[in-house]
A = this chain, B = another copy of it.
Amino acid sequence: MKPTLQAVADAVGVSRSTVSNAYSRPDQLSAALRERILDAARQLGYPGPNPTARSLRRGFVGSIGVLFTSQLSYAFTDPFAVRFLAGVGAAAERHGTSMLLVPLPPAVTDARRAVENAAVDGFCVYCVADEEWALDVIRHRGLPYVSTAPRDNAGADERYVGIDERAAARSAAAHVAGLGHRRVALLADSVLPDAPAGPLTVAGVDQVPHPTTRGRLAGFADAFAEVGVGWAELTVVNAPGNSRKAAAAAIAELFDQPAPPTAVLAGSDVLALGVLDALAARPAHDRPTVSVTGFDDVPEAAAAGLTTVRQPAEEKGRIAAELLLDPPADPAAGHVLLPTALVVRDSTGPVPRS
């Protein structure tokens, strides 16, 4: 058994308090005694105050939780999520705080429990799917949190950092519409819950539950509405899982149709890259000319020449963590909207004359 603080106190012949002070408040005792205590601790093999006991007594843990409402492995697969984590990490580093990554079991009951049991001082909630239940649990625990999306019913004291999804998406769609495209597919993750991969009929964009997806689809639709292409004329394609593979699989059949879309607007770069994969997989003679746009501007997008909407990923993570660790006095400052920019590359062009 590892010795406790009491054991060190006994060995030196001082009180427990004094040993505690030797570690946590060196100014509370003489340097000489402190040395004696630390020496004795070394001798006994005392590894320093037990972090858990210390956390209990002090009332805080010194770490923040990062919540992905999806498989934890997803966080490392999605390049945007990785950049986000890097930002959180940078802020955590500056504050001397650790990051706890909490995997969530698939069943909601279990997932709630996982959030309840996480030993953290607060949460950065990265919005993947509907995370309302997670926010409930966090609020219930009385912990502060920052989410990465503006929420419709956000309380005044609720902090978030996001972008104007709708306007950003609209800018990409306006670019594509401006190039003359009218037969267009919109590709997104989790358009409707539990929907299969592939083309999907969606009555209206407000049917889409996931706020981020909804915002982006709405932005796409806005731009096309302006050139006279209504929602019903747009093909919505579901790609569950937001992976390159899923996107390629979901979009593939469209290209076999007699009149394939001349443009695909994807809800993320990962999906857009999947579309490019699907195109590349076809023999050259049977490869339609399709404009493709992404969203996020992950590192891979530049290499692929993908036209996309840039949003500052690391910045998002950094600011999320900073809002959490160092809350602004003015609650209005807790709502951050980051700038986005359309980045035009080679993956979009005018409609081919056929």
Nearest-Cβ distance from residue A42 to partner chain B, whole angstroms: 9
Check: A260 CB closer than 8 A to any chain B CB.
no
Give Cα A234 to B47, complex, Å.
Answer: 46
> A85 — which chain B residues lie within 8 A by C-beta?
76
Check: A56 CB closer than 8 A to any chain B CB.
yes
Assess whether A142 is in contact with B47, with CB atoms less than 8 Å apart: yes
Cβ 8 A contact of A45, one of B62, B71, B76, B140: B140
Check: A21 CB closer than 8 A to any chain B CB.
no
Assess whether B93 is in contact with A98, with CB atoms less than 8 Å apart: no
Contact of A103 with B119 at beta-carbon distance under 8 Å, contacts A47-B141, A56-B56 already known? no
Cβ 8 A contact of A93, one of B73, B89, B116, B303: B73
Assess whether A56 is in contact with B52, with CB atoms less than 8 Å apart: yes
A-B contact pairs, 16 of them (CB 8 A): A45-B140, A47-B142, A48-B113, A51-B117, A52-B55, A63-B100, A71-B93, A73-B86, A73-B89, A73-B90, A73-B93, A76-B83, A89-B103, A98-B103, A98-B118, A119-B119
Give Cα A97 to B142, complex, Å.
Answer: 23
> A285 — which chain B residues lie within 8 A by C-beta?
none
Check: A341 CB closer than 8 A to any chain B CB.
no
Check: A75 CB closer than 8 A to any chain B CB.
yes
> A25 — which chain B residues lie within 8 A by C-beta?
none
A→B interface (CB under 8 Å): 2, 45, 47-48, 50-56, 61-63, 71-73, 75-77, 82-83, 85-86, 89-90, 92-93, 96-103, 105, 113-114, 116-119, 137, 140-142, 303
Assess whether B119 is in contact with A55, with CB atoms less than 8 Å apart: yes
Assess whether B89 is in contact with A119, with CB atoms less than 8 Å apart: no
A114 to chain B: closest residue by CB: B96
Nearest-Cβ distance from residue A136 to partner chain B, whole angstroms: 11
Give Cα A52 to B73, complex, Å.
Answer: 26
Give Cα A136 to B252, complex, Å.
Answer: 54
> A2 — which chain B residues lie within 8 A by C-beta?
141-142
Assess whether A103 is in contact with B114, with CB atoms less than 8 Å apart: no
> A55 — which chain B residues lie within 8 A by C-beta?
52, 119
Contact of A105 with B96 at beta-carbon distance under 8 Å, contacts A53-B56, A76-B85 already known? yes
Nearest-Cβ distance from residue A120 to partner chain B, whole angstroms: 8
> A116 — which chain B residues lie within 8 A by C-beta?
47-48, 51
Give Cα A295 to B2, complex, Å.
Answer: 42
Give Cα A62 to B77, complex, Å.
Answer: 24
Assess whether B45 is in contact with A119, with CB atoms less than 8 Å apart: no
Give Cα A113 to B92, complex, Å.
Answer: 16
A79 to chain B: closest residue by CB: B82
Cβ 8 A contact of A76, one of B50, B82, B103: B82
